[in-house]
Amino acid sequence: MWLLNSSIGRKLIMSLSGIFLILFLLFHASMNVAAVFSEEAYNAICGFLGANWYAVAGTLVLAAGFMIHIVYAIWLTLQNRRARGRKRYAVNVRPKGVEWASQNMFVLGLIVLCFLGLHFTQFWYKMMFAELTGHHEVELGGAIVSAHDGAAFIRYYFSNIIVVALYLVWYAALWFHLTHGFWSALQTVGWNNTVWLKRWQVIANIFATLICAAFAFVTVFFYLESIL
């Protein structure tokens, strides 16, 4: 199967899974922004995305997308290290025109993954997972809240400056991953030329900034609300 045993095929899977994750991020960021304007609306979305068959199915598809992206990331990175060979150059310079992010996609991905683990224990485990195991109310910082009360979760976690700082680091790593990933994914599917390369790069920067700014805005907004 050429998607598995040719380099361009493997890259195509990397690219499509990356685009899929980007689309998910777009959805997630818009949903978060809703919380700033109306906690009821946000909780309605949380309720909608609770332990229903469609939300669980969606979560499984999403998890599969992540798994594919990560498995291929590890596979490609290992192959690339082997192709590079064991002998390394004594002098290394990053030439002008080569983005730092483009050479550190795996490390950036790993950082994103670690924080994803934190995020899961904080939110998903106490929301969808709690509900799936039959708990409709969970303990959160000494109080008992509904597993659908997403706004309560946001308010609780983002009142802690350390959690806020960690999340901001996460968004920064994500920003770097996306500024390269976005145009790289389009280059990989072949949708590029000399004119569009520059355009895609500009669009990638704007897009990554918008997404990360939206996440950061919600995080900081709830922190400020907690101290004011």
Partner 1 sequence: MDKNINITLKVWRQKGPKEKGAFETYKLNDVSQGSSFLEMLDVLNEQLIREGKEPVAFDHDCREGICGMCSLYINGHPHGPDSAVTTCQLHMRKFSDGATITVEPWRSAGFPVIRDLMVDRYAYDKIIQAGGFVSVNTGGVPDANAIPISKKDADLAMDAAACIGCGACAAACKNGSAMLFISAKVSQLALLPQGRTEASRRVKAMIAKMDELGFGNCTNTRSCEVECPKEVSISNIARLNREFIVAKLQD
For binding to partner 1 (CB under 8 A), which residues are involved? 2, 5-12, 76, 79-80, 82-99, 102-103, 105, 180, 183-184, 187-194, 197
Q: What residue 89 binds from partner 1, ligand HEM, none (CB within 5 to 8 A, per partner kind)?
A: partner 1
d(Cα 124, Cα 118) in Å, to the nearest integer?
A: 10
- Give 139's strand partners: 144
Q: Minimal distance in Å, beta carbon 72 to ligand HEM?
A: 8
Tell me which residues in 59-98 interact with ligand HEM (CB under 6 A). Answer: 69-70, 73, 76-77
**Angle between helices 161-188 and 105-119 in degrees, nearest 10:** 140
Number of residues that bind ligand HEM (CB under 6 A): 25
Q: Minimal distance in Å, beta carbon 222 to ligand HEM?
A: 21
208 contacts ligand HEM (rule: CB under 6 A): no
**Angle between helices 39-48 and 7-37 in degrees, nearest 10:** 140
Q: Which is nearer to ligand HEM, 200 or 223 (CB)?
A: 200
Q: Which of 164, 143, 168 is nearest to 225 (CA)?
A: 164
Q: Are 42 and 34 in contact (CB under 8 A)?
A: yes
Q: Minimal distance in Å, beta carbon 201 to ligand HEM?
A: 13
Burial of 81 (0-12, 13-18, 19+ CB in 10 A): exposed
Burial of 91 (0-12, 13-18, 19+ CB in 10 A): exposed
Q: Which is nearer to partner 1, 57 or 78 (CB)?
A: 78
The helix (H) or strand (E) run that includes residue 140 is strand 137-140
Q: Which is nearer to partner 1, 84 or 135 (CB)?
A: 84
The Cα-based distances of 169 to 69, 110, 118, 162, 225 in angstroms read: 21, 13, 13, 11, 20
Q: Which is nearer to partner 1, 91 or 144 (CB)?
A: 91
Residue with the two structure tokens 């969606």: 58
Q: Which is nearer to partner 1, 84 or 136 (CB)?
A: 84
Q: Which is nearer to partner 1, 184 or 219 (CB)?
A: 184
The site for ligand HEM (CB under 6 A) is made up of: 11, 14-15, 18-19, 21-22, 25, 69-70, 73, 76-77, 105-106, 109-110, 112-113, 177, 181-182, 184-185, 188
